Chain A
Amino acid sequence: MSTITSAPRSRRSDGARRRARTEATSGLLFSLPAILFVVVLFIVPLVLAAWMSLNDWPLIGDPSFNAPDNYVAISNNKLFMDSVLFTLKYTAVVTVIFLAVALGLALLVQSTRPGVGLFRTAFLLPAAVGVASSALLFYAMYNNDYGPLDDVLRALGLISGDADFLGTPNAAFASTVLMVTWRFAGFYMIVLLTGLQAIPVEVYEASRMDGASWWQTLRLITLPLLKPTILLVLVLSVTGSLLAFEPFYVLTAGGPSNSTVTMVIAMFREAFTLFDLGSAAAIAMVILVALVAINLGQMYAFRDKDKK
């Protein structure tokens, strides 16, 4: 590339300009498919979603401008307003559980003992099964006639009589939390494990020399150094749970009596049961803004403490 260093100054800068131009052309050509995908399938739909939210937009028929009716209607939409509280509760509960379980598993399989790889695989394997399939699998397990779970609980003496895993709001909620923990714990374990393995061994050795106990090492060394990874887990878990759809849509179908309807299920029903795409788009925009705000807030909270 640098073979013309002996050329006169003006010609060299000419050549450099030409090279920069061909480089820009090649770069644009190579990234053209990616640009097309981002623009046509992401940016245009995003703008269209914003526009749809300002219109009365039936599934079939002509749209008409009606802003801000769709947004005003949100506050009267009981299904969605209830779903906001429910989704927040679900997000808080599963995020705490994911963090605790995944951290426990990651600390457990951080060891270098023989056979530890097999245990990692065992914990991670559910993450390969689709969320919809996992929900169906647990749906069958929770079925009293077909599934083994009620028999197991009865044999352990934990319940008497018939179990009702999906019949009451609380049971349906807990059953779904158990299912997603099974499905996602291994995934978050691996995320945390990569963070744990990035901590140099010397740090642990130094803390052992200082006579720190296991608990002190965890609290004063491991967790602070793991902060960036924990933030990643928080962002992933909060985002995923706020947008939860499959677990409840498949496992509980939003029931019993709409007690487990998440925000995305409420939006989905607005669009494809009530055929009101404009209102669905307005809800989608609200979810989008809330999600970005929450994630920025989390990152800000974590960054702030780091500086002190």
Chain B
Amino acid sequence: MTGNLVKRLRGVSFYSTNVVLAVLFLSPLVWSFYSSVHGPRATGGKGGFGPDNYIRLAEYGAGLGRYTWNTSVVTVLTVIGTLLVTVLGGYALARFQFPGKNLLFIGALAILMVPHPTILVPLYTMLNWVGLQNSLVSVALVLVMFQLPFGLFMMRNAFEALPKELEEAALLDGCGNLGALRRVLLPAVTPAMVTVGMFAFLASWNEFLTPLIFLTEGRNFTLPIALVSLRSGEMGTVDLGALQAGIVVAAIPCLLMFTLLQRHYVRGFTAGAVRG
């Protein structure tokens, strides 16, 4: 009887602690969604709910559509570029002996150790030399580079985990290395690709420092840069209502992707923990 009671009490305290903490963690997000559509700023003076914050946000600066488009361009280029480079590179690192192999892997991991601003300042100068300043493509290229340590590590491990017989059969069937990679190996490493792609998506959609340094023209701003310039009131007084709407717009794709693919996010860490 008492054992049962202790067990039940433990259950109650477990759930109540968790619920309180979950409310604390979720309430800022909930408040942001709520206040973006509620209150005088959202309705134009009346109480209740209204879309005014979003309407003002849509017309802010170069327009919400423009900023969302810019962010999407950077994100899509970064995700595709990261997958392309890390799948090919991970395959090479896992399956081929070639000079400079270890050097490449160490060089890519060293990116982790170097503060981003340390390379962003000289990169900014280099981009000016080749006339690529203020371009979304150059932002994406740099973001792909920042994804390399994690991406190469993940993809190399994924390819190493596959049995060699898999591609040997394909090679005997007359496929080239590339054919074997495309037809046989890629389906087998898809989970790792989802993880790498998801990290690249979250990082590039939310990246702040790189576009802040590289992009000087308002038309090219990405969402985070546009929102921060809204906060500093560069174009008039701070419109906190429109800011809330902006935070919601910026957060929704990440929250959606995150809830759908949470398993893959966690997988990224497990891979790191197991393989050290």
Taking CB atoms, residues of chain B closer than 8 Å to A52 are 121-122, 125
Q: Are B31 and A148 in contact (CB under 8 A)?
A: yes
Taking CB atoms, residues of chain A closer than 8 Å to B98 are 23-28, 31
Nearest to B96 among chain A residues (CB) is A27
Binary interface encoding of chain B residues 115-142 relative to chain A, with 1 for a CB under 8 A from any of its CBs, else 0: 1111101110110000000000000011
Q: Does A30 contact B (CB under 8 A)?
A: yes
Taking CB atoms, residues of chain A closer than 8 Å to B101 are 27, 31
Nearest to A119 among chain B residues (CB) is B18
A25 to B176, CA, bound (A): 13
Nearest to A185 among chain B residues (CB) is B25
A20 to B14, CA, bound (A): 60
Interface residues of B (CB under 8 A from A): 11, 14-15, 17-18, 21-22, 25-26, 28-29, 31-32, 35, 84-86, 88-89, 91-93, 95-101, 104, 107-108, 110-111, 113-119, 121-123, 125-126, 141-142, 144-145, 148, 152, 168, 171, 177, 202, 205-209, 213, 224, 227-228, 231-232, 240, 243-244, 246-247, 250-251, 254-255, 257-259, 262, 265-266, 269-270, 272-274, 276
Taking CB atoms, residues of chain B closer than 8 Å to A28 are 92, 98-100
Q: Are A34 and B18 in contact (CB under 8 A)?
A: no
Q: Does A77 contact B (CB under 8 A)?
A: no
Smallest Cβ distance from A24 to chain B, in angstroms? 4
Q: Point out the residue from B18, B117, B145, B259 that lies within 8 Å of A243, measured CB to CB.
A: B117
Taking CB atoms, residues of chain B closer than 8 Å to A108 are 14, 17-18, 21
Chain A CB count within 10 A is highest, among B32, B98, B111, for B98
A: interface residue count bin:
35 or more
Q: Are A133 and B244 in contact (CB under 8 A)?
A: no
Q: Are A33 and B84 also in contact (CB < 8 A) when A48-B126, A49-B118, A133-B247 are?
A: yes
A244 to B17, CA, bound (A): 31
- Surface stretch bound by B, among A90-98, A136-144, A167-175: A136-144
Q: Are A31 and B104 also in contact (CB < 8 A) when A131-B208, A291-B115 are?
A: yes
Q: Are B107 and A30 in contact (CB under 8 A)?
A: no
Q: Point out the residue from B21, B148, B262, B272 that lies within 8 Å of A119, measured CB to CB.
A: B21
A44 to B114, CA, bound (A): 13
A264 to B120, CA, bound (A): 12
Q: Are A24 and B142 in contact (CB under 8 A)?
A: no
Q: Does A212 contact B (CB under 8 A)?
A: no
A32 to B126, CA, bound (A): 21
Q: Are B145 and A41 in contact (CB under 8 A)?
A: yes
Smallest Cβ distance from B65 to chain A, in angstroms? 19
Taking CB atoms, residues of chain A closer than 8 Å to B251 are 128-130, 133
Q: Are B85 and A33 in contact (CB under 8 A)?
A: yes
Taking CB atoms, residues of chain A closer than 8 Å to B142 are 41
Taking CB atoms, residues of chain A closer than 8 Å to B123 are 41, 45
Q: Are A45 and B126 in contact (CB under 8 A)?
A: yes
Binary interface encoding of chain A residues 26-70 relative to chain B, with 1 for a CB under 8 A from any of its CBs, else 0: 111111111101110111111011001000010000000000000
Taking CB atoms, residues of chain B closer than 8 Å to A37 are 85, 141, 144-145, 148
Q: Are A128 and B28 also in contact (CB < 8 A) when A23-B97, A194-B269 are?
A: no
Q: Point out the residue from A38, A44, A287 that lies within 8 Å of B111, measured CB to CB.
A: A38
Q: Are B121 and A128 in contact (CB under 8 A)?
A: no
A134 to B213, CA, bound (A): 20
Smallest Cβ distance from B9 to chain A, in angstroms? 14
Nearest to A272 among chain B residues (CB) is B213
Q: Are B28 and A138 in contact (CB under 8 A)?
A: yes
Q: Are A194 and B266 in contact (CB under 8 A)?
A: yes
